[in-house]
């Protein structure tokens, strides 16, 4: 039997770290859907596509082939046969991803890939529309939240550790802009599914967050 866990929420709530640890614990496949939107954003950035022009973004979708695979337990993402796992994490690509993810055709292409992956495996998927659109029948849906300041601080540390030159105040501002765009767009906006459990992890460590979700999952599937 294949199980599905959906984790949604705004950026910087620790969705991917949590999902990765949970996947390891449960031996499920972790699917980072944000990485796919980032890959589309990266393609647009590299090819000077005007991301505010929906028609232009739509016209390049057939040139994009996205593939996710696992190497030594880590997820790698390929854009047209090139591994771009590191490049998609550059700070400016976050904005590109957020803008292109508004468009219906972009979402349809990526949701299709995501749903196919979930057919074959037990999965933990994180994103913005997993509980509402991608896996509406997920066994457990989590909506992770944390305060703006905590989220900005986490993102800042992550980027500094990667050697990127960023300022905390800029990160906070960009984070708020991105959240606004992600939750106010017309197509599949970020929102809590009616049957999702909301978990505020502002004051929880990653281990505590994982433990709570594991308890919820075990209760849900009767373990
Ligand atoms: O989770 P992330 O920061 O890597 O996601 C990058 C952008 O992609 C984010 O601003 C919103 C978008 N996204 C989305 O619209 N739907 C998803 N399922 C995942 C990400």
Looking at the structure of the chain, the number of domains it has is: 1
Give nearest CA residue, ligand 1 atom 4.
Answer: 34
CA of 1 to the centre of ligand 1 (A): 28
Give nearest CA residue, ligand 1 atom 15.
Answer: 101
Which residues, judged by CB distance below 6 Å to any ligand atom, belong to the binding site of ligand 1?
11, 33-34, 37-38, 94, 97-98, 101, 127-129, 178, 182
What is the rounded distance in angstroms from the CA atom of residue 205 to the CA atom of residue 64?
37
Burial of 140 (0-12, 13-18, 19+ CB in 10 A): buried
216 assigned to some structural domain: no
Domain harbouring 200, CATH code: 3.40.50.300
Task: Indicate the pTM of the whole model.
Answer: 0.93
220 assigned to some structural domain: no
**Tens digit of pLDDT for each residue in 93-106?**
999 999 999 999 99
164 assigned to some structural domain: yes
CA of 99 to the centre of ligand 1 (A): 10
Assess contact for 31 and 68: CB atoms under 8 A: yes
Ligand 1 pocket test, candidate residues 98, 134, 155, most atoms within 8 A of CB: 98
Per-residue pLDDT for 128 more than 70? yes
Give nearest CA residue, ligand 1 atom 14.
Answer: 128
Minimal CA–CA distance to 198: which of 131, 139, 116?
Answer: 131
CA of 92 to the centre of ligand 1 (A): 13
28 assigned to some structural domain: yes
162 assigned to some structural domain: yes
**Tens digit of pLDDT for each residue in 56-100?**
999 999 999 999 998 887 889 999 999 999 999 998 999 999 999
Indicate the DSSP class of residue 124.
E
149 assigned to some structural domain: yes
pLDDT of amino acid 91: 87
200 assigned to some structural domain: yes
pLDDT of amino acid 223: 66
CA of 127 to the centre of ligand 1 (A): 6
Q: Which residues pair with 125 in a beta bridge?
A: 6, 31
Can you give the residue range of the structural domain that contains 154?
4-207
Pairing of strands 4-8, 123-127: parallel
Ligand 1 pocket test, candidate residues 8, 17, 31, 34, most atoms within 8 A of CB: 34
| Mean pLDDT along residues 200-216 | 96
212 assigned to some structural domain: no
pLDDT of amino acid 222: 79
CA of 223 to the centre of ligand 1 (A): 32
């Amino acid at each position: 039997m294949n199980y599905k866990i959906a984790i949604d929420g705004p950026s910087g709530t620790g969705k991917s770290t949590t999902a990765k640890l949970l996947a390891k614990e449960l031996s499920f496949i972790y699917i980072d859907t944000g990485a796919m939107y980032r890959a589309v954003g990266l393609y647009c950035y590299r090819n000077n596509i005007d991301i505010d022009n929906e028609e232009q973004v739509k016209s390049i979708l057939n040139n994009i082939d996205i593939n996710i695979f696992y190497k030594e337990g880590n997820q790698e993402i390929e854009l047209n046969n090139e591994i771009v796992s590191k490049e998609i994490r550059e700070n400016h690509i976050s904005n590109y991803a957020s803008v292109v993810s508004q468009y219906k055709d972009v979402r349809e292409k990526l949701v299709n890939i995501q749903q196919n992956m979930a057919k074959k495996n037990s999965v933990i998927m994180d994103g913005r529309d997993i509980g509402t659109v991608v896996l509406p029948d997920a066994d457990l849906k989590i909506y992770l939240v944390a305060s703006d300041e905590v989220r900005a601080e986490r993102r800042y540390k992550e980027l500094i550790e990667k050697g990127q030159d960023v300022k905390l105040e800029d990160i906070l501002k960009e984070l708020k802009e991105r959240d606004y765009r992600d939750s106010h767009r017309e197509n599949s906006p970020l929102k809590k599914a009616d049957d999702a459990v909301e978990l505020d992890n502002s004051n929880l460590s990653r281990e505590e967050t994982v433990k709570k979700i594991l308890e919820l999952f075990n209760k849900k599937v009767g373990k």
